[in-house]
Amino acid sequence: MRYRFALIRSFTLSAASGHPAAAGGRTKQESLPNHADVAHLLSDVDWELLAGPVAPYGDWAVENREEFALVGAARLAIVKQACESGKYNAIVLLGGGEPGAPAAREIARRYGIPVTSSAFSQMHVASMVGRRFSFVDLAESHSMHIYDLVLQHGFADRCASIRSINFPHSRPRYDAAGRDLHEEKRKALRGEPSAAVEEAVAAAVEAIEEDGADTILFSCSGTFWLRPFVQKRLAEIGWEVPVLDGLSTSITLAKALIDLGVDASGLVFPGDHPRRWRRKRTF
Amino acid sequence: MRYRFALIRSFTLSAASGHPAAAGGRTKQESLPNHADVAHLLSDVDWELLAGPVAPYGDWAVENREEFALVGAARLAIVKQACESGKYNAIVLLGGGEPGAPAAREIARRYGIPVTSSAFSQMHVASMVGRRFSFVDLAESHSMHIYDLVLQHGFADRCASIRSINFPHSRPRYDAAGRDLHEEKRKALRGEPSAAVEEAVAAAVEAIEEDGADTILFSCSGTFWLRPFVQKRLAEIGWEVPVLDGLSTSITLAKALIDLGVDASGLVFPGDHPRRWRRKRTF
Amino acid sequence: MRYRFALIRSFTLSAASGHPAAAGGRTKQESLPNHADVAHLLSDVDWELLAGPVAPYGDWAVENREEFALVGAARLAIVKQACESGKYNAIVLLGGGEPGAPAAREIARRYGIPVTSSAFSQMHVASMVGRRFSFVDLAESHSMHIYDLVLQHGFADRCASIRSINFPHSRPRYDAAGRDLHEEKRKALRGEPSAAVEEAVAAAVEAIEEDGADTILFSCSGTFWLRPFVQKRLAEIGWEVPVLDGLSTSITLAKALIDLGVDASGLVFPGDHPRRWRRKRTF
Amino acid sequence: MRYRFALIRSFTLSAASGHPAAAGGRTKQESLPNHADVAHLLSDVDWELLAGPVAPYGDWAVENREEFALVGAARLAIVKQACESGKYNAIVLLGGGEPGAPAAREIARRYGIPVTSSAFSQMHVASMVGRRFSFVDLAESHSMHIYDLVLQHGFADRCASIRSINFPHSRPRYDAAGRDLHEEKRKALRGEPSAAVEEAVAAAVEAIEEDGADTILFSCSGTFWLRPFVQKRLAEIGWEVPVLDGLSTSITLAKALIDLGVDASGLVFPGDHPRRWRRKRTF
Amino acid sequence: MRYRFALIRSFTLSAASGHPAAAGGRTKQESLPNHADVAHLLSDVDWELLAGPVAPYGDWAVENREEFALVGAARLAIVKQACESGKYNAIVLLGGGEPGAPAAREIARRYGIPVTSSAFSQMHVASMVGRRFSFVDLAESHSMHIYDLVLQHGFADRCASIRSINFPHSRPRYDAAGRDLHEEKRKALRGEPSAAVEEAVAAAVEAIEEDGADTILFSCSGTFWLRPFVQKRLAEIGWEVPVLDGLSTSITLAKALIDLGVDASGLVFPGDHPRRWRRKRTF
Amino acid sequence: MRYRFALIRSFTLSAASGHPAAAGGRTKQESLPNHADVAHLLSDVDWELLAGPVAPYGDWAVENREEFALVGAARLAIVKQACESGKYNAIVLLGGGEPGAPAAREIARRYGIPVTSSAFSQMHVASMVGRRFSFVDLAESHSMHIYDLVLQHGFADRCASIRSINFPHSRPRYDAAGRDLHEEKRKALRGEPSAAVEEAVAAAVEAIEEDGADTILFSCSGTFWLRPFVQKRLAEIGWEVPVLDGLSTSITLAKALIDLGVDASGLVFPGDHPRRWRRKRTF
């Protein structure tokens, strides 16, 4: 098998959290969110789904910078272990906000293993199929974390906007009940009307008509399920716009990097004892 | 077979031209330059190598803007025919300067077929593995055509430099004999010293040390054979820098786009009778 | 006579096409669209109007990238012939989308002859009189071709927007009747109300009030006639905004370049056998 | 007392590490590196020096992205505790690579407390006194972490270069002995020649003469002691260039923000339950 | 006393002008507009308020580029005198449009004295607390002068917009009566409704919601009094956005520069007889 | 006569100053520096040479920001008078550093009169003939004034560098004797070797080979005479690079603007009582 992937989740919550991810499933396929959407991409991959770290900040989904910093740091041990195991030739970091991604790439490069992640992969594919993309996001603090990622990856000139539908996850002192994204997903899959779908379509249309987006992305893995629904609706409206998600693009670019035999430039992710050093770096 | 590719050459010269491409080969593998470098990438592809148009400007390799415009226009009929044939699900445009690429993407989009090309593919992969890339180029006019492509694809901020080794192809009133890139290739493959290899390594090192490049690309298909030689030499020197070429990256990204089921945004490459139109475009 | 210009049209259609350009006129003045608007600029010019190539893609006006590539390549022979004739000291390329312009400049530079064209000239003059300009455009595919030109000429930071009034030309499977730009022109010249004028004024006002434009341009030669109408209306509204067109600015800049004795930098448009070559290019 | 600062160190090493920071001092003044350089700035401040977290990755100084991610996350608990204590009205994050800074700002904003840090503060002051700055850095991986910070803070256009003198700290499999920055500091303070001073001056001069820097910064707190030495030497050479460090600028900007009664925009660092949310963000 | 400031006004009008500034006050506190807002910042400053030059263009407030050029030049003699007096260790230039600022910085640098001014100081502080700011401005010509200042200070990428409330000062052939900003201030301070406050709040909200501003600035000293009113109203609405003004930020940054012992880079503001010169400057 | 120009000098010095400009000439042709270079451009112009203001700062040539501010303000009265006279349809501001230019454009726009100046005109023409230009400059403070002009005119992305040959004018405490630019000019015109010519050629070559310039400009009117000498030498070396100067380009663009019937956008240079105002400005 050419591809041997570790898919590493962002965090682990307790069963009591009520978060769908906590429930898990009997098989890895059942446990991987939106597996059906990517089954064809995984058909030639020998993959495992690795649990994320127990969320160090509390028993809820990651949303703000503090939580991303904590859970990102905690995920690095899992990344390192996956690299050391020798079982994988690529690592796919799950989670829209890609906690721990830059350090994970640095670690994996020591092993010659490429790492892909959600914002990274969506923005690169969006740049191939279009000129300017917009993210659909779900919460104030999360949006600014994504803002940081756009800057860090050097895509500010291609990001038309980050549009919010304001569907924050439950967290202490905020109960998402009545406006819960997981419930919206269940509704949509049952074919019932879903406010999240409606508002995501509206946000995408505004991104297209007002902000100049020609490609639509999703910034939180909790919203990746919206992709086919939004894609279908935009097509019906007449907007011929690609809609991407972080999981399918991450799997696809991981394969591409393996095929090409590259992982990351040693000048961008230097090792601790590099043979040569650069006198200067410029922007 | 999941992938069915048309690899379309840039131009066709006469046997009298002395150009290696003119000689061709008995098999498509023999005819495809540097096939050995990409054989593993084509192993799961049902591919055909389509001849390019007879060079409309004369019997020599394309190098300046006029020649690119003429041969690019001439190649479009072949692209269209490939699309209409229904035989392919992706088109790979050969030729470092990707003649005709923007119009080819527009044509192919009418058929839902992705198109990849050399500068496009190398720059996108370089952006994934590093921050800033440099091209190694071979002629004054060709360098400025590549300069235009960098601007057109929106990569000026990621292009550290276009470095030239000044190895122009033969053309009227210029005989490359004594400094012929095809001869350099033969020497290098025979294990003999090659000025082209030496000068390309020197250019790459200058790009790294002076211009800030962390990834090295080749702008002309006539230099793609240099990739493994330069990669090996940089590694020996101690520079851990990915070296890419246009053919392997074009094949790989074509697969990625097929896997994802996308070709190009309909807002960037609109059809002639779009269902919706945009009131404004911004940059 | 100081100025000896070749004005080269973009394409030639058949009389059966119904396109006004096909009809021609008895004199060059009658044949040059909007001659009255530029008569004072041509009064000290010895000029000829050269027919464009027969449209290679079909008997309709150029609008998408494929058509621009084909007709642009076809026009180069006429450019070369005009240069070789020794009769002209500047070439003015007609046509808003300036088909073939970059290669035409390369060709003409071998003869020391400056070339001006519509998007080029308008954007340069707009930069002199204002900070940010907007184009008024007429069709989805055409707008994206103009988008490419803005990037290629390096004016993305000065282009506030490309605003569309969606008045595509007739083409196979699209009959512009009832919304035909040529008919709008006739109406406007007769002093009758014209939807094209109204919508162009509205687009210009939106460009000013929402996009930050301080100068208005027209991207298609089929809309150049709108200039005086839009200029007058904006003045009436109270917006003191220059409105330009491609023909008057192209003639004017051609004179400026002749006066200064320059055509184009040999480093941007190198010849095939340059005496010196550059080791690197940067952005 | 108007100012009540918590100065929070980046990490804590064991006494066995041999790192000067581990030794500490009897007083906070002795424990604060380069206290003499900032004593006048702290004279009107009621300050405490809080120990950093025990370095989670091992017993050596932070240098690569993995280490920054781990120690940055570990420092957040200390930041939060400092905020909750009610004792401070500003937090100064020590450490050139400012581990944990973005999340620390988010946390402290909930308490209305400004946070300053080294790269942040130096780049802002450099922008006030000059147009373009260069950092003097000490290690390959550290340089790229600083590169990331420049991007994240939005200063790429003002950063002329990151110049390296390649003086990495000791770490597993690398013994800095013979080229140890702490030893260099001792030499310099004793008035003896120091290779680090010489090479930092040379790097600064190259930044000025070749890269266009008009202000010099230091990216690692292990090099802040170089400031007065480099400043003096540049003045002797005749270059009238401000040389800054992270500690003095961080203290100074913390005072400025307190004086102005601002900490950070709630739109950049939103709380978890904001009263209002933005429909879109742009760049 | 650590800080000894000269606060230099922009211009002097006659008592007959009716301008509040002309009236002056018995004490410097009474004469300094909005003194109450900055009293705490001046408590540790030994300051004098220096009269500006008699307005050379006429007896009204400065508003357009001509007036700024004239009054800016006239103010330089006062700046020079203040420097020569040896009484001050910083100069604070009053006036939102900071007339004469660049030359004033050049002059003062010969004496090692830092100079701060309104647009400069607000934009630097805004960059510390947020990512993108908007100015609230009051007149067409004044807005474009501010536009120039944003460009000159290199903040175009951080300026979300300049929003106008169109409240021009009285000038020949324009009587502001009925819409007079000074009268608005009196109303607001009396607790009465003020159109200026209402329109400034509306402009700030549009800047936040439509333009992406996260910090609000005021471009004319005639509007600095609006700061606390707008700050309070935005807080009530729920927008947690810092609102700044030019006076408080100028005083604060002047202190910061004094504390750090820096004024301006000698490469940006070279003296007339520099010891060294640079072969090249880049952007 | 179609063109009626006022050529306005920057300043007037006393005969005792020894400055060539002070000497003047019997005719306007003799008084206009480098008249021979532009005689053909003035042949269809009815022009007058207006004296500049007596230098307000002292009896030497303008070089630093203070001097530019003072003499720029002083020149405005002459500009206004020229406009009011009704004798001219364009104003050409002499002087490389274009003192007073922005305000002069604002003033002249009230009369519908275009204004051109040296940096403005050279940069616009350079953008037409090439992609990136370099200035050759003569003094530290003057270089930074030019730096400001590049930013103000929005050309930072097209300016490859400002190269200095360090030939400052005489001023208090600096006697240029032995390295006097006016003496260099006399030598060069006599056909003798000139250090200024040699160093300017060297600077131009470095700009081309190292900085990426494809067009060469001169930033000070005291160096405009170098243009034909540098042009000739670059051609001999084999660099096919346009060399421009401020006088010929200013005259030429003034004609272009008159021909087109435009001066400046009323949104960039608003009048004092505009009929309409903009709610926002963006960058």
The pLDDT tens digits for F134-192 are: 999 999 999 999 999 999 999 999 999 999 999 999 999 999 989 999 999 999 999 99
Note the pLDDT of residue A45: 98
Residue in A267, A273, A281 to test binding to B, most B beta-carbons within 10 Å: A267
Q: Judge whether B176 is closer than 8 Å to chain C, CB to CB.
A: no
CA distance A77 to chain D (A): 10
Where do the CATH 3.40.50.1860 domains begin and end in chain D? Answer: 3-118+247-260
List of E strands, D100-154: 115-117, 133-137
Residue F21 has pLDDT above 80, yes or no: no
pLDDT digits (tens, 9 = 90+) for E173-206: 999 989 999 999 999 999 999 999 999 999 999 9
Helix, strand, coil percent content, chain E, rounded in steps of 5: 45, 15, 40
Whether residues D266 and E239 touch (CB distance < 8 A) is answered with yes
pLDDT digits (tens, 9 = 90+) for B76-99: 999 999 999 999 999 999 999 999
Residue C137 has pLDDT above 90, yes or no: yes
Q: Give every strand in the sheet of C3-8, ordered side by side.
A: C45-50, C3-8, C90-93, C115-117
Q: Which amino acid is at D169?
A: H
Contact, E176 vs E93, CB < 8 A? no
Contact, D8 vs D93, CB < 8 A? yes
> D140-152 and D118-129 helices cross at what angle (nearest 10)?
60
Q: Which overall architecture, per CATH, does domain F3-118+247-260 show?
A: 3-Layer(aba) Sandwich (3.40)
Q: Which chains have 3 or more CB–CB distances shorter than 8 Å to chain B?
A: A, C
DSSP per residue over C25-79, as a string?
-SSHHHHSTTHHHHHHHHTTEEEEEE--PBPTT-SS---SHHHHHHHHHHHHHHH
Q: Report, as an integer, the average pLDDT of E101-128.
A: 98
Q: Give every strand in the sheet of C280-281, ordered side by side.
A: B215-218, B133-137, B159-164, C280-281
Q: Which overall architecture, per CATH, does domain C120-246 show?
A: 3-Layer(aba) Sandwich (3.40)
pLDDT digits (tens, 9 = 90+) for B159-182: 999 999 999 999 999 999 899 999
Residue F1 has pLDDT above 90, yes or no: no
Q: Judge whether E63 is closer than 8 Å to chain F, CB to CB.
A: yes
Q: Report, as an integer, the average pLDDT of A19-35.
A: 87
Q: Which residue of D has its CA nearest to A176?
A: D273
User: CB-CB: which of B147, B162, B272 is closest to C171?
Assistant: B272
**Which of A21-25, E254-258, F234-238 has the weakest average pLDDT?**
A21-25
Q: Report, as an integer, the average pLDDT of B260-277.
A: 97
Note the pLDDT of residue E18: 83
Q: Report, as an integer, the average pLDDT of E51-55.
A: 97
Beta carbons within 10 angstroms of residue E99's beta carbon: 28
pLDDT digits (tens, 9 = 90+) for E236-247: 999 999 999 999
User: CB-CB: which of C128, C209, C282 is closest to F212?
Assistant: C282
pLDDT digits (tens, 9 = 90+) for C78-120: 999 999 999 999 999 999 999 999 999 999 999 999 999 999 9
- CATH code given to domain C3-117+247-260: 3.40.50.1860
Which residues of chain A make contact with B37, given a CB cutoff of 8 A? none
Supply the pTM of this predicted model.
0.98
User: CB-CB: which of A107, A144, A269 is closest to D270?
Assistant: A144
E130-245 under CATH 3.40.50.920, yes or no: no
CA distance B210 to chain A (A): 8
CA distance F59 to chain C (A): 34
User: CB-CB: which of E241, E256, E276 is closest to D267?
Assistant: E241
Q: Judge whether C272 is closer than 8 Å to chain F, CB to CB.
A: no
Note the pLDDT of residue B271: 96
DSSP per residue over chain F, as a string?
--EEEEEE-S-B--GGG--HHHH--SSHHHHSTTHHHHHHHHTTEEEEEE--PBPTT-SS---SHHHHHHHHHHHHHHHHHHHHHT--SEEEE-STT-TTHHHHHHHHHTTT--EE-HHHHHHHHHHHH-S-EEEEE--HHHHHHHHHHHHHTT-GGGEEEEEE---PPPBTTB--TTS-HHHHHHHHHTT---HHHHHHHHHHHHIIIII--SEEEESSGGGTTHHHHHHHHHHHHT----B--HHHHHHHHHHHHHHHT----TTTS--SS-S---SEE--
Distance from the Cα of residue F14 to its chain's centroid = 21
Q: What is the mean pLDDT of chain F?
A: 97
CA distance B170 to chain A (A): 32
How far is CA A57 from each of CA A62, A64, A76, B250, rounded to the nearest angstrom? 9, 11, 16, 44
Closest CA to A90 of A111, A75, A70: A111
Kindly tell me whether chain C and chain F come into contact, counting contact as 3+ Cβ pairs under 8 Å. Answer: yes
Q: Judge whether A283 is closer than 8 Å to chain D, CB to CB.
A: yes
CA distance E129 to chain D (A): 4
CA distance A38 to chain D (A): 29
Q: What is the mean pLDDT of chain B?
A: 97
Burial of F39 (0-12, 13-18, 19+ CB in 10 A): exposed
State what percent of residues in chain B have pLDDT above 70: 99
Whether residues C257 and F129 touch (CB distance < 8 A) is answered with yes
Where do the CATH 3.40.50.12500 domains begin and end in chain A? Answer: 120-245
Q: Judge whether A166 is closer than 8 Å to chain D, CB to CB.
A: yes
CA distance D270 to chain E (A): 8
pLDDT digits (tens, 9 = 90+) for E255-268: 999 999 999 999 99
Q: Report, as an integer, the average pLDDT of A25-47.
A: 96
Q: Which residue of C has its CA nearest to F275?
A: C238
* Alpha carbon distance F41, F38 (integer Å): 5
Note the pLDDT of residue F81: 98
Residue F78 has pLDDT above 90, yes or no: yes
Note the pLDDT of residue A20: 81
Whether residues F256 and C125 touch (CB distance < 8 A) is answered with yes
State what percent of residues in chain E have pLDDT above 90: 96
**Which of A115-129, B21-35, D59-73 has the weakest average pLDDT?**
B21-35
Which residues of chain F make contact with E74, given a CB cutoff of 8 A? 73
Q: Report, as an integer, the average pLDDT of B30-46.
A: 97
CB pairs under 8 A between C and F: 146
B3-119+247-260 topology per CATH:
Rossmann fold (3.40.50)
pLDDT digits (tens, 9 = 90+) for A216-252: 999 999 999 999 999 999 999 999 999 999 999 999 9
Residue E23 has pLDDT above 80, yes or no: no
Whether residues A154 and D154 touch (CB distance < 8 A) is answered with no
pLDDT digits (tens, 9 = 90+) for A146-157: 999 999 999 999
Q: Report, as an integer, the average pLDDT of F23-39.
A: 92
The question of ipTM being above 0.95 is answered as yes
Confidence of residue C26 (pLDDT cuts 50, 70, 90): confident
Say which DSSP state B237 is in. H
Q: What is the mean pLDDT of chain D?
A: 97
Where do the CATH 3.40.50.1860 domains begin and end in chain E? Answer: 3-119+247-260
Note the pLDDT of residue E21: 74
Which residues of chain B make contact with C267, given a CB cutoff of 8 A? 144
Indicate the class that CATH gives domain F120-245. alpha beta
Note the pLDDT of residue D26: 86
Which residues of chain F make contact with C265, given a CB cutoff of 8 A? 129-131, 214-215, 240-242
Which residues of chain C make contact with B69, given a CB cutoff of 8 A? 69, 72-73, 76, 100, 102-103
Note the pLDDT of residue B198: 98
Residue D21 has pLDDT above 90, yes or no: no
Residue F23 has pLDDT above 80, yes or no: no
Whether residues B282 and C160 touch (CB distance < 8 A) is answered with yes
The two three-digit tokens of residue A16, written as one number: 């009591």
Contact, E153 vs E123, CB < 8 A? yes
Q: Which residue of D has its CA nearest to A207?
A: D280
Range 207-266 of F in CB contact (< 8 A) with C: 208-209, 211-212, 214-215, 237-242, 244, 248-249, 252-253, 255-257, 259-260, 262-266
Q: Which chains have 3 or more CB–CB distances shorter than 8 Å to chain A?
A: B, D
Residue D174 has pLDDT above 80, yes or no: yes
Which residues of chain A make contact with D138, given a CB cutoff of 8 A? none
Range 64-103 of A in CB contact (< 8 A) with B: none
CA distance E94 to chain D (A): 17
Q: Report, as an integer, the average pLDDT of F65-70.
A: 98
Residue E227 has pLDDT above 80, yes or no: yes
pLDDT digits (tens, 9 = 90+) for F185-212: 999 999 999 999 999 999 999 999 999 9
pLDDT digits (tens, 9 = 90+) for D91-118: 999 999 999 999 999 999 999 999 999 9
Whether residues B270 and C144 touch (CB distance < 8 A) is answered with yes
Which residues of chain E make contact with F66, given a CB cutoff of 8 A? 76, 103, 106-107
Note the pLDDT of residue E22: 79
Confidence of residue F110 (pLDDT cuts 50, 70, 90): very high
Q: Report, as an integer, the average pLDDT of B232-252.
A: 98
Whether residues A244 and B255 touch (CB distance < 8 A) is answered with no
Whether residues D73 and A72 touch (CB distance < 8 A) is answered with yes
* Alpha carbon distance B62, B11 (integer Å): 8
Residue A194 has pLDDT above 90, yes or no: yes
Confidence of residue D11 (pLDDT cuts 50, 70, 90): very high
The two three-digit tokens of residue F89, written as one number: 């349809």
Which residues of chain F make contact with E275, given a CB cutoff of 8 A? none
Which residues of chain D make contact with A267, given a CB cutoff of 8 A? 144
Say which DSSP state B216 is in. E
Note the pLDDT of residue A19: 87
* Alpha carbon distance A200, A215 (integer Å): 14
State what percent of residues in chain F have pLDDT above 90: 96
Closest CA to F252 of F79, F1, F3, F80: F3
Note the pLDDT of residue C18: 83
Q: Report, as an integer, the average pLDDT of C246-262.
A: 98
Q: Report, as an integer, the average pLDDT of D173-189.
A: 95
Note the pLDDT of residue B122: 98
State what percent of residues in chain A have pLDDT above 90: 96
pLDDT digits (tens, 9 = 90+) for A66-89: 999 999 999 999 999 999 999 999
